[in-house]
């Protein structure tokens, strides 16, 4: 069975400060892991994905995530938040031959 836990339902940061969105997963298979971003009333946009290559994955808009197998984590980070980063973020896991499993999402607020 697969599952995804996003440890914070809401994260609030000030503009220019670092962002950390936490994700833990469980999977019986060597998984692929994804982060998506969703702005209000929009579809989901892929930020980055891990597929068993480099454990530090760089994505769009300055985001990156590190796959840590021993901790079953795939946390999303960004060194400096921008107002346009305010959105909902979803962590997703997928094992071989399995469906995509979505976390409940983390809402990121960026304060001026």
Partner 1 sequence: DGGITQSPKYLFRKEGQNVTLSCEQNLNHDAMYWYRQDPGQGLRLIYYSQIVNDFQKGDIAEGYSVSREKKESFPLTVTSAQKNPTAFYLCASSERTSGSTDTQYFGPGTRLTVL
Residue numbers at the binding site for partner 1 (CB under 8 A): 9, 29-32, 34, 36, 41-46, 49, 51-52, 90, 92, 94-100, 102-105
Give the integer Cα–Cα distance in Å for 93 and 91.
7
SS3 29: coil
Q: Which is nearer to partner 1, 36 or 67 (CB)?
A: 36
Q: Which is nearer to partner 1, 14 or 52 (CB)?
A: 52
Q: Which residues of 11-21 are buried (b: 16+ CB within 10 A; e: fewer)?
A: bebeeeeebeb
Cβ 16 to partner 1 shortest distance, Å: 28
Cβ 21 to partner 1 shortest distance, Å: 14
Q: Which is nearer to partner 1, 15 or 88 (CB)?
A: 88
* Local structure of residue 3 (DSSP, 8 states): E
Cβ 17 to partner 1 shortest distance, Å: 25
Host H or E run for residue 77? strand 73-78
């Amino acid at each position: 069975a697969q599952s995804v836990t996003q440890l914070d339902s809401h994260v609030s940061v000030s503009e220019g400060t670092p962002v950390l969105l936490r994700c833990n997963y469980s999977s019986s298979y060597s998984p692929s892991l994804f982060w998506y971003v969703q702005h209000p009333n929009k579809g989901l946009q892929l930020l980055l994905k891990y597929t068993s290559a480099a454990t530090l994955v760089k994505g769009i808009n300055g985001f990156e995530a590190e796959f840590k197998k021993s901790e079953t984590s795939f946390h999303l980070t960004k060194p400096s938040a921008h107002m346009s980063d305010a959105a909902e973020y979803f962590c997703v896991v997928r094992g071989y031959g399995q469906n995509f499993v979505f976390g409940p999402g983390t809402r990121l607020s960026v304060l001026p």
